[in-house]
Amino acid sequence: MLNNEQLLHTIQIEIEPALLGINRGADIPADWSQRAIYAGPAGASAWINTVASDRSQPCNSGSHSDLLCAISSLSPDWFISLGPGNGARDRILVSPLLTNNAHMRYVPIDLSLGLLFATISTLVGQVHIPAGIVADFESGSSFIPERLCSRFKSSDHILYALLGCTLGNLDRGENQFADSLHTTMRSGDWLLIEVATRTNAWTFELDPRARHNYDDACRRLFANGISLHTGEAIEDIFRNFEQRVGYDQSLTDVPGCIAIDIMDRKTSRRILRTSRYDWKQLLGWLSERGWTVLYEHNVFEDERCGLGVALVVKR
Ligand SMILES: C[S@@+](CC[C@H](N)C(=O)[O-])C[C@H]1O[C@@H](n2cnc3c(N)ncnc32)[C@H](O)[C@@H]1O
């Protein structure tokens, strides 16, 4: 029986060349905003600290029961996690999925090598992880499809997951991501997504994400994104968080969706976009882009804000 340390050596880590330097401390591209907050060792530890702090803070998410309901009848051969963070939320899904198919394999894909290792440490020994991929799933490069597709047999069933409201954070918007993922997926593959939602009574002013409502761990995460662009110390940005950070409202690619753009006032650069979807219009957008909705559940936490989970299949 191999221990976790030995199991780690059995996992092939594939790193997209453009991300090798970034994970070693090279400059990040000028157009990275949300991608910058997770970048480098400081970004990885800032996300891990954010998850470890209060889950109810505005930059977190998640109803486990809806995710479990969505996947209850699936028995995929592969579980491909797009942006697993530290793998804690994927772990909740792995056990029921393995009950349905004991041979399922798990492949995490993240821009952060530190977070990829954290994910592998969380899940090693629980599920077979043949590979982990460090890549940018927004870049549209052929790296991810090439690394994945060579592993799949034509009869394999594949589940992709994009959890933690990441769809609403994307630097290049939803359309480009959706079209590139749709091209990578094969007909019959599933996609599980989780997003923040809004009612018609939602207002920007009353959204907890549009105020300085973030705890210290989350503030340091945002400060990492600023620091990687400006070279300032994370702690200096953290100390001046309330003067430094502001909030704007904008639209996204998905009809009915409103984004809160968390901004660095000093550079006018966006730190992170966090989006609230109109649930019905999001389901319509998924359908228009080539997926059929198999499961959907949206729960409003109050009269304005909610969380939705959808499982869709590529037509
Ligand atoms: C909001 S966190 C969600 C983490 C986890 N899925 C959860 O639900 O707790 C976003 C994750 O996606 C990764 N990520 C964000 N944009 C990415 C991109 N363009 N390519 C690859 N990974 C990305 C981040 O490094 C981070 O691990």
Q: Using pLDDT thresholds of 50, 70 and 90, give the confidence band for residue 236.
A: very high
- Residue 301 is predicted with a pLDDT of 86
Compare 54 and 285 and report the one with higher pLDDT: 285
Element (H, E) at 277: strand 269-277
Spacing, Cα 1 to ligand 1 middle (Å): 32
Is residue 222 lining ligand 1, measured as CB closer than 6 Å? no
Best substitution site from 49, 56, 106, 111 to test ligand 1's pocket, by max atoms within 8 Å of Cβ? Answer: 111
Percent pLDDT > 90 in the chain is 92
CA atoms within 13 A on the CB side of 121: 9
Banded pLDDT at 59 (limits 50, 70, 90): very low
Residues 187/158, Cβ–Cβ less than 8 Å: no
Burial of 73 (0-12, 13-18, 19+ CB in 10 A): exposed
pLDDT at res. 150: 92
Q: Which of ligand 1's atoms lies nearest the C-alpha of 88?
A: 9
Q: How many CA atoms lie within 13 A of 40 on its CB side?
A: 20
Per cent of the chain over pLDDT 70 is: 95
Task: Please give the average per-residue pLDDT across 221-230, as a whole number.
Answer: 97
Q: Is the pLDDT at 55 greater than 60, yes or no?
A: no
- The yes-or-no verdict on residue 58 having pLDDT over 90 is no
Domains in the chain: boundaries:
4-200+275-314
Please indicate whether residue 16, judged by its CB atom, sits closer than 6 Å to ligand 1: no
Indicate which residue's Cα is closest to atom 7 of ligand 1.
164
CATH: 3.40.50.150, 3.40.50.300, 3.10.100.10, 2.40.50.100. Which one for 4-200+275-314?
3.40.50.150
Model pLDDT, residue 64:
87
- Is the pLDDT confidence value at 294 over 80? yes
CA-to-CA dists, residue 101 to 78, 156, 282, angstroms: 10, 12, 30
Q: Is the CB of 90 under 6 A from ligand 1?
A: no
User: What pTM, to 2 d.p., does this model score?
Assistant: 0.96
Q: What is the DSSP letter of 128?
A: B
Report DSSP letters for 280-312, one per residue.
HHHHHHHHHTTEEEEEEEEEESSSSEEEEEEEE
- For residue 51, the ligand 1 atom closest to its alpha carbon is 9
Mean pLDDT for all residues in the chain? 94
Going by C-alpha positions, the residue among 170, 97, 158 that lies closest to residue 314 is 158
Q: Whose Cα sits closest to atom 20 in ligand 1?
A: 136
Q: Is the pLDDT of residue 16 over 90?
A: yes
Reported as a pLDDT band with limits 50, 70 and 90, residue 61 is low
Which residue among 19, 23, 38, 63 has the greatest number of ligand 1 atoms within 8 angstroms of its CB, and so is best to mutate? 38
Is the CB of residue 174 below 6 angstroms from any atom belonging to ligand 1? no
